[in-house]
A and B are shown apart, each in its own frame.
Chain A
Amino acid sequence: MEPASDWLLSFSRPCGIPLRVLVRVYGFWVNAAISTSRLARTFGEQTAVDSVDLEVSAGEIYGFLGPNGAGKSTFVKMLCTLLRPSSGTAMVAGYDIATDATEVRLRIGVALQDAALDPKLTGRELLRLQGRIYGLSHRQATMRIESLSGLLEMAAIDNRVATYSGGMKRRLDLAAALIHSPQVVFLDEPTTGLDPESRAKVWDEIQRINAVDGVTVFLTTQYLDEAERLAHRVGIINAGRLVIEGTPDHLKREVGSEVINVRVRQGTEHAIAAVRDLPGVDDVQVMGDEIVVSVTAGSTTLAPVAVALDGCGADVVDLRLHAPTLDDVFFAATGGRFDEVGR
C-alpha cells in the first residue's frame, strides 16, 4: 500500500498547503486516533525511527511489535510528547504532537516501559494525585479508582508503593495512566517481566477499556503471543522502519497457509534448490541453518518436501510443520528471527 504521506506530499507541495495541515485533515477524514507521516527521530548519527507512516483508527488496539532496540519506545515517546521528532508529523487524538502538545496530553494516557511511580506514596494517594493533575474532582477520582479496581489490589491500595510487588506496581502504573479516562492509551511493553497472573489481569483490562470504553490502545510489545491475543492490527518495526502491518491473520496468511521449518547441519543450498520448485511451495527463505518453506497445504506438501530433502544430500536435523506465527511474518519481512534480531 502506498503510504498516505506520499500522496499527501504530492498535494502539499504544489498547493502550498503545509503537510501538517493535510495530515490533520486526513486523520479526521479517516477517523484516525493516531496518524503519523514520515515521523523520524535521530540521536546524533544514529537513526532510531526512520520515516514511519502509520494510522491507527479510533477504537482500535494496535500492536507495535519489534525486537529490543527496534525503535518502539522512541516512537511511543514521540507520540506521547516526551520526545520531539527530528522530522515528520504526527497527530494524536486529533492534535499535532509538536504544536498542540498540551491538547494531546489531555487526551492520552501513558504507561512507559518502567513503572513511573512514587514509592513513598500509597497507591490511593498516587492515583488521587494523578487525578488532580488531570483536573478530576475528589469524587471523580474516587469513582475512577473504583472502576479500575479490577486492575488494582484494593486490599493493598493504602500501603506504600515501595511495598508492592513488580506486578502490582505495573498494574498501578497502568491504572494511573487510565485515571482520567483517556481517549488514546500508549502502553510501552506493559507486561514485560510480569508473572502470568499479572499479565492476564493487564490483558483483561486492556481488552475491557477498549471494548467497554472505546479507548484506542497503542501497545508496544516484544511478545508475539501478546500482540496476537490483543491487537486488531499489528505493525512490525525493525531497525527503526515499519516493515509490515496488517491484521495478525492477514499477515500470517501472506506468509502461507502453513510453514515448514527445516534445520540443516550442512547442504543448505542443495536443500533450497530441492524444495523451491515443488508443487505447493509458495516461498523459501533462509537464515543461517534455518530454512522456512511457506506452503499452501501442509499435509500434502510435507511428504514431498521431506523426500526432496532426503534425496538432495542435505543433512536435515529438524523438520516441522506448523501454522504460521507472527515470528514467521517477521522472518518473511526481515530475514531474521525475532529473538535473534533482539539479541
Chain B
Amino acid sequence: MNTNNAPQTLARKVGFIGDTRTVATRALKLLPRDSVEYIPAFFAGVITFLITVGALSNVADFTTIAIDYQSFQLPVGVLFAVTGLSRAYALVMDIQGGYFDRLVVSPINRWSILLGLMVADVVLVALLSTLMVVLGLLLGVEFATGFAGMVVFVLLCSGWALAFAGVPYAIALRTESPGAVGGSWVLAFPFLLLSTTFVPRDAMEGWLSAVAAWNPATYLLAGLRSLYLGWDGEALLQATAAVVALAAITFPVALVALKSRTKS
C-alpha cells in the first residue's frame, strides 16, 4: 500500500460558461459526423417548399396574399426542415452508451449538459435556415428588409427550432428511446398544419381559424412573412413572443427531465 500523501488532482471547476462551451464544442465537432441525422429533415423542408409552391401557387390568386406564393411558402419550408431538429438523438445515444453517466460523475454543471447541445442546435438550424433562404432567393424571393431582414428571418427560425427542441430533449431524457425521439417530430404537425401554412388567416374559416388564432406558429409565420414587405415591429414582436411562449413551456419540461435523470 502506498502511504504517501494523496495525490493532488489536476481537476478544477470550469464554471457554467466553460462547461457549456465544452459540451457545445463536442456537439459541434460531431455535427459533420452525424449528418445523416439532419440531412433528411433538410430535404423534407425543401421538398415541402417546392411541392406546395408547385401545387398550390394558384391559391395566391383567390386569397389576399400580398406576396408571391413562393415567398409565402418559404417560411413553411424552413419550419418543416428545422422544427424538431435537435441533438436529442445523440443524447439518447450518450445515455444508452454510458457517456451521459461519465458526464454526470464529472464536476460539469448539469444544465450545461443540455444547454451545450442546444448551442449546437442553434448553429445547425441557423445553417440550414440560411441554405433555405438562399434557395428562396434563387427562386425569386425578395426581402424588402434586405440582409438584416434575412438575418432576423434566420434568427426567428432558429429561436423557434430551439424552443421546440425542448420536446425531443424531454422525451430523450425520460424514455432513453431513439424511436420515441425520432417520432417526436410528429408533435410538430399540429403546430405546422393548424396554422397559416397554406393560406392566409382571413381565408380560414370555422374551427381551423379559431385554432390558428391560438397557435404560436401562426404569429411566427406572420412575423417571418412581414420581412418581405418591410419592417413591421408589431408582427416581429408577436413572432418573438410566440417563440418565447413555446420555450416557456418546453424548456422547463426538458430541464425537469434533466434534473430528474441526474438526481437519482
Chain A interfacial residues counted at CB < 8 A: 49
Closest approach, in angstroms, between the C-beta of B48 and any C-beta of chain A?
A: 29
* Minimal beta-carbon separation of B206 from chain A (angstroms): 49
Residues of B close to A84: CB separation below 8 A: 263-264
Residues A106 and B5 in contact in the complex (CB < 8 Å), given A83-B264, A112-B98, A125-B29: no
Interface centre among B6, B19, B22, B103 (most CB of A within 10 A): B6
Query: A38 at interface (Cβ–Cβ under 8 A)?
Result: no
Q: Produce 1/0 per residue, B82-126, CB < 8 A to A.
A: 000000000000100111011111111000000000000000000
Closest to A115 in B: B98
Q: For the complex, what is the distance from the CA of A232 to the CA of B3, rounded to whole Å?
A: 12
- Which among A180-188, A195-203, A271-279, A316-324 touches the partner chain? A180-188
Contact B10 A180 (CB under 8 A): yes
The answer, among B4, B22, B26, B107, for a CB contact under 8 Å with A105, is: B107
Q: Which residues of A contact B99 (CB under 8 A)?
A: 116-118
Residues of A within 8 A of B25 (CB): 129, 132
> What residues on A are CB-neighbors of B12 within 8 Å?
106, 134-135
B interface size (C-beta, 8 A): 37
The A183-229 residues at the B interface (CB cut-off 8 A) are 183, 210-211, 213-216
Residues of B near A82 (CB, < 8 A) are 101, 104-105, 264
- Is residue A108 within 8 Å, beta carbon to beta carbon, of the partner chain? yes
Asked if A257 lies at the interface with its beta carbon under 8 angstroms from chain B, I say no
A132 touches B102 (CB 8 A): no
Determine if A110 is an interface residue (Cβ-Cβ < 8 Å).
yes
> Does B34 sit within 8 A of A, measured CB to CB?
yes
A61 contacts B by Cβ under 8 Å: yes
Whether B10 pairs with A144 at a CB distance below 8 angstroms is: yes
CB of B233 closer than 8 Å to a CB of A: no
The answer to whether B26 and A129 touch across the interface, beta carbons within 8 angstroms, is yes
Contacts of A232 in B (CB 8 A): 1
Given A93-B6, A107-B11, A182-B9, decide whether A133 and B94 contact each other with a Cβ distance below 8 A: no
**B33 near A129: Cβ-Cβ < 8 Å:** no
B127 to chain A, nearest CB (A): 19
Tell me if B14 is interfacial: C-beta within 8 Å of chain A.
yes
A108 to B102, CA, bound (A): 12
Binding site for A on B (CB under 8 A): 1-14, 18-19, 22, 25-26, 29-30, 33-34, 94, 97-99, 101-108, 263-264
Apart from A132-B22, A213-B7: 20 A-B pairs, beta carbons within 8 A: A33-B6, A59-B1, A59-B2, A82-B104, A82-B105, A105-B107, A106-B12, A107-B9, A112-B102, A116-B102, A132-B25, A133-B108, A134-B11, A134-B14, A136-B10, A176-B102, A181-B9, A183-B7, A210-B2, A214-B7
